Amino acid sequence: MAAPSKVVVGSQVWLEDPEVVWIDGDVLEINGDNIKVKCSTGKEVVINASSVLAKDPEFPAGGVDDMTRLTYLHEPGVLQNLKSRYDADDIYTYTGNILIAVNPFKRLPDLYTKEIMTQYKGASFGELSPHPYAIAHAAYRQMVNERISQSILVSGESGAGKTESTKNLMQYLAFMGGRPSSEGRRSVEQQVLESNPVLEAFGNAKTLRNNNSSRFGKFVEIQFNDSGRISGAAIRTYLLERSRVCQVSDPERNYHCFYMLCAAPPGESENPKSTLKLGRLWMLLGINSEEQDAIFRVVAAILHLGNIEFGKGSEPDSSQPKDDKSNFHLTTAAELFECDRTALEDSFCTRVIVTRGESIKKCLDPTAATISRDAFAKIVYSKLFDWLVNKINNTIGQDSDSKFFIGVLDIYGFESFKTNRCLTGTL
Ligand SMILES: Nc1ncnc2c1ncn2[C@@H]1O[C@H](COP(=O)(O)OP(=O)(O)OP(=O)(O)O)[C@@H](O)[C@H]1O
């Protein structure tokens, strides 16, 4: 941490504060290496001069729209600038050609209108206020002018606003490269945006930081033809947080789809689509009603798996469903998966070890059977998620002749939980 080159009486400085992170103040006295600072809160502090950072006395009230224009580009300087702008609802700030977004935690609809998009279409980078549209525009222009594919990386911790920013980028790209949808056929960009609610139902969950947290990474590739028009798209997902299917730390929740299915009112449980409120969307994404039923069966079966408990079996170190309730859930899960009940039970309560020329069936104790059950649920859920993404991609359609693409990578924030588990799980 570099101290201000020359601290004199009257200098404005920043000092670290356990409550507000950085606090500003004026230097009152200098005694050797120590200085006395009167903080803006009124308290006086004696501190080593090397522990303070210089504050810009001419910092403009509303901040600057590009951090590179700050006199002091240090942590308190950056935070002061972001805060000054945030207080005026200026949630976007540049650092060169990087856009920093601060989550406003409220709707700012006037920021994202067609008129605003039109303004950015006619402006060069830096001419207008910082905005995701400006970033998308720069990528699009560069692709068209230099005929090179582009990628935009959206990164930040959970709840920072990555998904919202990604949607804004996609909206602008659709605005620039979109085509009016032809009779009876929806445009590629419409389909990409429409896939969000379905992906969010199966890949998002409520967490401590975000009620609608994406628990998977997403790379959306928008493909363009020679004249800069959207010709296809592909959604690639990775690192779905499978462990959430079986273990959720309170007060977090599992994936939205489980609650949506459970919220089906009595009598409607055979037709949960009405409760999921996704019926029309499924059709638009090319998932027919037979496939929809299969999806709901798999989700329901996973819920039943979670209710199977194992007790000791008749053999030493063996296991079996603990009671009638567990037997009921096992039978129901097998019916929903349309598989043999005994085979399903065996897959949890035994392990087959293949040696040279023979295979040996080994019994598993109740703890190991529970681990097998959870691993099975995680694998089935992640396969279902991959299937959905694949289905959506087939419907949207990729253009194998596309000339270039703009990729938008939305990589979810990493967190440190009380108990941290492997993301992939094991079988
Ligand atoms: N630009 C914005 N305008 C209005 N609300 C916003 C904006 N950005 C974020 N939010 C609000 O904050 C919430 C969290 O944002 P978002 O889901 O984009 O975070 P994220 O970084 O993608 O989080 P995660 O990594 O957990 O998925 C949104 O649901 C929305 O309510």
| Contact assessment for residue 67 and residue 59, using Cβ atoms and an 8 Å cutoff | no
**CA 209 to ligand 1 center in whole angstroms:** 10
126 annotated to bind ligand: no
Where on the phi/psi map is residue 308: left (φ > 0), alpha (ψ -120 to 50), or beta? beta
Q: If you search the block for the tokens 């006295």, which residue do you land on?
A: 29
Q: Which helix or strand (DSSP H or E) is residue 355 part of?
A: strand 350-355
Residue nearest to atom 9 of ligand 1 (CA): 161
Query: Binding residue per annotation — 161?
Result: yes
Check whether 25 is labelled as a binding-site residue: no
Does residue 159 line the site of ligand 1, with CB under 6 A?
A: yes
Q: Which amino acid is at 393?
A: N
- Pair of tokens at residue 315: 């053999």
DSSP assigned state of 8: -
Residues 366-383 as b or e (16 or more Cβ within 10 Å = b): bebbbbbbbbbbbbbbbe
Burial label, 354 (beta-carbon count in 10 A; 0-12, 13-18, 19+):
exposed
Q: How far is it, in rounded angstroms, from Cα 259 to Cα 276?
A: 9
Residues of the chain with pLDDT under 70: 1-5, 180-185, 264-281, 412-427
Say what the pLDDT of residue 388 is: 96
Greatest CA separation for the chain: 87
- Atom 14 in ligand 1: which residue has the minimum CA distance? 159
Q: Structure tokens of 134?
A: 């400006």
What confidence score (pLDDT) does residue 424 get?
42
Cα angle, residue 146 at apex, residues 143 and 151 outer, rounded to 5°: 35
Helix axes 289-306, 324-337, angle to 10 degrees: 160
The ipTM, to two decimals, is 0.99
Name residue 351's beta-bridge partners: 362
How far lies 386's CA from each of 178, 289, 380, in Å? 27, 19, 10
| pLDDT of the residue at 422 | 52
Number of the ligand 1 atom closest to the C-alpha atom of 215: 27
Q: Say if residue 320 is exposed, middle or buried (CB neighbours under 10 Å; 0-12, 13-18, 19+).
A: buried
d(CA 260, CA 277) in angstroms, rounded, equals 9
Q: How far is CA 170 from CA 51, 115, 175, 224, in A?
A: 44, 16, 8, 13
What gap in Å lies between CA 216 and CA 412, rounded to an integer? 7
Q: Give the per-residue pLDDT at 425.
A: 37
Q: What are the C-alpha distances in Å from 246 to residues 3, 76, 198?
A: 50, 42, 21
DSSP 178-208: --PPPTT---HHHHHHHHHHHHHHHHEE--S
Distance 26 CA to ligand 1 centre (A): 38
Q: Which of 103, 107, 112, 214 to mutate to test the pocket of ligand 1 (most atoms within 8 A of CB)?
A: 103
Radius of gyration of the chain (CA): 28
Question: What distance in angstroms lies between residue 64's CA and the mean position of ligand 1's atoms?
Answer: 24
CA separation for the pair 170, 178 (Å, rounded): 11
The residue type found at 150 is Q
Task: List, as one string, the DSSP characters of 29-58.
Answer: EEETTEEEEEETTS-EEEEEGGG-EE--TT
Residue 18 preceded by cis peptide, ω within 30? no
What residues are paired with 17 via a beta bridge?
21
Q: State the Cα–Cα distance between residues 104 and 90, nearest whole angstrom.
A: 9
pLDDT of residue 426: 34
Note the pLDDT tens digit of each residue in 93-115: 999 999 999 999 999 999 999 99
CA 252/CA 338 separation, integer angstroms: 31
pLDDT at 263: 83
Distance of CA 345 to the CA centre of its chain: 35
Instruction: Please report, in angstroms and rounded to a whole number, the separation of the first and last CA atoms in the chain.
Output: 48
Distance of alpha carbon 341 from alpha carbon 344, whole angstroms: 5
